[in-house]
Structure 1
Amino acid sequence: MSSVLITGASRGIGRAIAVELAGRGHRVIATARNPEHLADLPVALKLRLDVTDQASVDEVVAGAGQVDVLVSNAGTTVRAPLESVPLGEVESLFQLNTFGALRVAQAVLPGMRERGDGRLVFVSSVQGRVVLPIIAPYGASKWALEAIAEGLALETGHFGVKVSIVQPGAVSSGGAERAKSFFTDDDPYLPLLRQVPALRGESVTPEEVAAAVADTIEHPAPPLRVPVGAPAAKALEARKKASDEEPFLPVQIDW
């Protein structure tokens, strides 16, 4: 069984991944910014980790022992039109969702490369390939994450490191409900905000995402991209077939 480091394991998808992998017999290192939220997880190690802090990342990787697999899951989202979203919020999204993921990957890759074996699994989203209005700042961070992940696949495959990008659509993890929202009472983009649930589509559970992640880790030759659930697969397939001459949306919006 593998030794797996999971970022963002305190709740939602990350917690479900920790439970799933521990149940399959893997050595799980669960991490979160608030490690007290990890107390009841049945895992080997529970460590404090802030992926936006290099010292925190270095400390965790030094104390985790051998890491065979990184599951990069830590992330957050916002609801805001691009015209008025505070740029500081966009920077924070990239620091956590994108740069944080790369920071931890950089920390574990030397050991994987030296051993000639390892797995990097990035929890992305359908929105790493499909832009949705009002959630576009989050989508931008995931598009960038997917570029980094694909670049890592090209650069590290020669050293025996396998890279996968897991792409769920909407997930019933509570993340959307916790998202910061930046709208005024008379905001001209409110009609789009009201349509966000329909745009996101049918949801899957954190446990379904966790099973897909675990199956990917245990697959001898995992694919680069792993859609999770029929709605995600359908949306991504439609995106592939769509023309690049105009913006793509999986459903029609109504102003």
Structure 2
Amino acid sequence: MSENKAVVSRAIAQGEAKSIGVPLRTTKLVKTFRQGTSSVRALNGVSLEVPQGQFTAIMGASGSGKSTLLHVMGGLARPDSGDVFVEGERLSSLPDAKLTDFRRRRIGLVFQQFNLIPALTAIENVMLPLMAGGAAANGKSREQAVALLERLGLGNRLTHRPDAMSGGEQQRVAIARALITDPAIVMADEPTGSLDSANGRAICELLKELNEKEGRTIVVVTHEPAVAAWAGRVVIMKDGAICTEWLADGVQDPHELAGRYQDIVSGSSLAKAT
């Protein structure tokens, strides 16, 4: 273990992003948006590392830059400056077509609005990334999709279209789609935002299970303490920058987390947590 940490430390010191233990790393990300005649700096020098197998929650109020950060880390937007490395691949060095292909294969993305294709069944939606990569809609691809959906409790919904499924079921289909290519990291943007509390908790339990039982590296962006409480690490953003973070053992008390979060964003607490 100590040798592995030493290898990672040397790679970071040399300015390299290695996949050994660090599937995701950002360095000094800056992203600015124009609003009329003025500009807003959504990201202001964000540097972040997510170790292999970690469940990280990124919290922040509306306008804190958390969703912009996820979009940049996921290769959906390019930063004005700074870098994102996924499995050692520098995303900014990839032309658009290669970035799209890399994102499809190595980054699993989950969104608040599910983004399922209405005309396709659950199994067809899950198979989409494989087919987009050139895989035929054959028995092997179908077997992979069926296995994922069954594992996520949707074995009886394989041929249902999105409008015949509940919000929680649709989000599970979206998670299965994100997992079908066995990505290096799963990124979720407000994955419970369109769900009621019961379904939201079920999705959090599922993400926690994927992290603990399969060792999945997961990054969730959320403004909800009840969601962040499931993560092993909480990162707080304010005004486009990371202001503090802490590690947690097990499920935290969401009320305690909410109080701590409010203290930090209101400026009444500047203490770093370990």
If the length of structure 1 is used for normalisation, what is the TM-score?
0.34
Larger relative contact order (C-alpha < 8 A, sep ≥ 6)?
Answer: 2
- Structure with greater helix share of residues: 1
If the length of structure 2 is used for normalisation, what is the TM-score?
0.32
